[in-house]
Structure 1
Amino acid sequence: MSKRKQIAIYGKGGIGKSTTTSNLSAALSDIGYKVMQVGCDPKNDSTNTLRHGKSIPTVMDTIRSGSNDFSSVIHEGYNDILCVEAGGPEPGVGCAGRGIIAAIELLDNNGVIDEYDPDIVIYDVLGDVVCGGFAIPIRQGLAEQIYTVTSSDYMAIYAVNNLFKGILKYSGSGGGLLGGIIGNSISKIAQREMIQDFSQQTETEVIEYVPRSPIVTRCELDGKTTIEGAPESEQAEVYRELARKVINNKQKFIPRPFDVDDLSDWGSTWVNKLLLEQKTAIEGIQDGGTGV
């Protein structure tokens, strides 16, 4: 690529954000791009499946040790993907977002990213709270595009709506804009329709739906991405398609988030629809049918 592409992927904890990010990185590397993945989650596990389950020293670890060897924060993973973990403060001390601030300052101020010259840098950011260090990829325009991973779980969508508020707030001052929504763990029609409706209501776009699959869990137990552990699977092809869409995506949306009360009313309607679909499926099975 003639110009480095920098994106950030946000999502509520436990929603499959890091799983999606790591498979995206692996798929992009297979296509031929030089990828750097920066884990911006205090759990420090963003890049584990790119390194056969092995964790790496974090930027905060390096800073606390007093080391000036900034190259020590870069570790190679699957297919030469450059892996970085921001880390966080010692338990019970300081802000969890401090690791992101420290990591970005270290990488930028010391020319670390330029030295390794990746084609694409992906920041994997915890999206439960969009404040402090967690907001830096948006606020400073560090990422040209923001993506968010969500399921049909209401609290996951609630977190996305908060993210949209952050993007909207900084959109007028050079902040990063939305590239799209990634629907994850989709197994039912109503789940897909719920995310699609949320996208339409907030004037955004869904870039891909990733189905729920036991293959993902099996590969993660082996310390691998699906791209590495099950490269011929349909699930791996979904991640490859996501990679192709991300690398070619030029869309930049300024979302129109729900007010809290409106989101609650909207969510109640969809929860009822999901429950009805589930009830219908169960009754179909009990009657000897196949269900939904």
Structure 2
Amino acid sequence: MRQIAIYGKGGIGKSTIASNLAAAYADLGLKVMMIGCDPKADCTRNLRGETEIDTILEVMRVKEVKKLEVSDLVEGRSIAVEEVVHEGYKGVLCIECGGPEPGVGCAGRGVIIATDLLKKLGVYEKYDLDIVIYDILGDVVCGGFAMPLRESLAGEVYIVTSSDFMSIYAANNICKGIERYAARGGSLLGGIIYNVRGSMDYNYIEPVKRFSALIGSSLIGEIPNSSTIIKSEIVGKTVLEYDPDSEISDLFKWLAETIYNNTNTNNINTNNANTSNKAKVPHALRKEDLKEIAEEIRRYAEAGAGAGALAGGAES
């Protein structure tokens, strides 16, 4: 069973990429599960359309879990697997961890509780899965959101970023988390996925290429701006379901295949020069290096190179 984590700054397009990867693997006949680790609980929306599902934390609140330990719930079968696992596009199993009630509790702690419940319920074994995809908020790599890294739930991590400095900044923080936990047997970085988001990204991939090289990783895929993505998400679908013959669908299929064939995810070989396709421990950048990238982006912006695209930036 492959376990893959998709990290990145909020709004960078993690869920778009993760859900389309899940759909691509399902199209290949693989048994796929996608776990949304974001308090907004909308990670799996494109796989289930208009169907609303209860999050793990919502189910636990209804059953007054505050009075019980997770182990008590499992042993007493107060929570059934079917209450937290829901079927979506072509049998993709969708789970949303959810978050605490607004103003109460910690969302990161919620991820810890939710993943603990899934393990104790034997969810991974019950469904004989081929691939599990975690979609994880990466603005703050706290103990909860770092759970898949720390516990090595995901064997490999892919970071989504654009050429926007704050998304690169968030990506660097994620690298710090990977670097910290990898020494204890945690997850490794499989690569960087570049996602076009706005005016800065048009014909300006250089900051992402430079960042990838400096941390010792590689750019594993590029997702262009596409109106098909916008149209598909309005109706709660992936582009593979909405327009399977489109160019953007082919690109997601290619990205899914590239990640699937990146099989050296548990090997760190610092003596082998040909390690570009191997998952590695990244070397998070120092403040000085980040400042240089920020200055490069500032110079590009001041030159007005992206001005013509300001009106055409599509969300994905």
Provide the residue aligned with 1:289 in structure 2: none
Contact persistence 1:7–1:147 (CA under 8 A): yes
> For structure 1, which segment, 267-276 or 141-150, has the greater mean C-alpha deviation from structure 2 after superposition?
267-276
Instruction: Show structure 2 runs of 5+ residues with no match.
Output: 64-77, 265-277, 310-316
Aligned partner (choices 22, 27, 32) of residue 24 of structure 2: 27
1:277 CA drift (Å): 5.9
Higher helix share: 1
The alignment yields a C-alpha RMSD, in angstroms, of 1.5
Q: How does 1:1-292 map to 2 (within 5 A)?
A: 4-66=1-63, 67-185=78-196, 188-190=202-204, 192-249=205-262, 250=264, 251-276=278-303, 278=305
> For structure 1, which segment, 269-278 or 135-144, has the greater mean C-alpha deviation from structure 2 after superposition?
269-278
Report the 3-state secondary structure (helix = DSSP H, G, I; strand = E; otherwise coil) of the residue aligned with 1:56: coil
> For structure 1, which segment, 38-47 or 51-60, has the greater mean C-alpha deviation from structure 2 after superposition?
51-60
Report the 3-state secondary structure (helix = DSSP H, G, I; strand = E; otherwise coil) of the residue aligned with 1:178: strand
1:171-196 deviation per Cα after TM superposition (whole angstroms, max 9, x unaligned): 11001000111100165222x22211
Aligned residues: 278
- Work out the CA distance in 1 between the residues paired with 2:306 and 2:35: 42
1:16-64 deviation per Cα after TM superposition (whole angstroms, max 9, x unaligned): 1111110110011112211000000000000011011333100101111
1:113-157 deviation per Cα after TM superposition (whole angstroms, max 9, x unaligned): 210111000010000000121011111111100111111111000
> For structure 1, which segment, 53-62 or 200-209, has the greater mean C-alpha deviation from structure 2 after superposition?
53-62
Report the 3-state secondary structure (helix = DSSP H, G, I; strand = E; otherwise coil) of the residue aligned with 2:153: coil
- Work out the CA distance in 1 between the residues paired with 2:224 and 2:241: 18
- Work out the CA distance in 2 between the residues paired with 1:280 and 1:118: 46
- Work out the CA distance in 2 between the residues paired with 1:195 and 1:128: 17
Counterpart AA for 2:281: I
Instruction: Show structure 1 runs of 5+ residues with no match.
Output: 283-292
- Work out the CA distance in 2 between the residues paired with 1:275 and 1:27: 40
Contact persistence 2:240–2:249 (CA under 8 A): yes
- Change in 2 beyond 3 A, CA 1:278/1:55: farther
Tell me the TM-score normalised to structure 1 length: 0.91
- Work out the CA distance in 2 between the residues paired with 1:163 and 1:181: 11
- Change in 2 beyond 3 A, CA 1:65/1:266: same
Counterpart AA for 2:127: Y
Residue identity over aligned pairs, in percent, reads 47
Report the 3-state secondary structure (helix = DSSP H, G, I; strand = E; otherwise coil) of the residue aligned with 1:121: strand
1:266 CA drift (Å): 2.1
Report the 3-state secondary structure (helix = DSSP H, G, I; strand = E; otherwise coil) of the residue aligned with 1:239: helix
Counterpart AA for 2:20: N
- Work out the CA distance in 1 between the residues paired with 2:19 and 2:94: 10
> For structure 1, which segment, 103-112 or 59-68, has the greater mean C-alpha deviation from structure 2 after superposition?
59-68
Tell me the TM-score normalised to structure 2 length: 0.85
Contact persistence 1:44–1:55 (CA under 8 A): no
- Work out the CA distance in 2 between the residues paired with 1:224 and 1:160: 27
Report the 3-state secondary structure (helix = DSSP H, G, I; strand = E; otherwise coil) of the residue aligned with 2:124: helix
Report the 3-state secondary structure (helix = DSSP H, G, I; strand = E; otherwise coil) of the residue aligned with 2:183: helix
1:276 CA drift (Å): 2.9
Contact persistence 1:8–1:125 (CA under 8 A): yes
